[in-house]
Amino acid sequence: MESGNKSIYLDIYHERKIHYEFLKLYLVRENSVETKAPDEPMPPHSHPR
């Protein structure tokens, strides 16, 4: 990727065919703006009883 981040994908070989499945997961460089931004608090989990 242009920003230096890495994209995660599956390289699938099945029945003599190659298929790529892009997972929309990215490895982000530690010194990027995304990693310096504070995390948003997660909503409380509601557990069914």
Task: Give residue-wise pLDDT tens across range 2-49.
Answer: 777 889 999 999 999 999 999 999 888 776 565 566 666 666 765 555
Q: What is the pTM of this model?
A: 0.46
Does any domain span residue 48? no
Write out the residue range of the structural domain in which residue 20 sits.
1-30
In a domain, 25, yes or no: yes
Domain count, the chain: 1
In a domain, 24, yes or no: yes
Kindly state whether residue 19 falls inside one of the protein's structural domains: yes
Which whole-number Å values give the CA distances from 11 to 21, 26, 34, in the listed order? 7, 16, 27
In a domain, 18, yes or no: yes
> Distances from the Cα of 44 to the Cαs of 30, 31, 47, in angstroms?
28, 30, 10
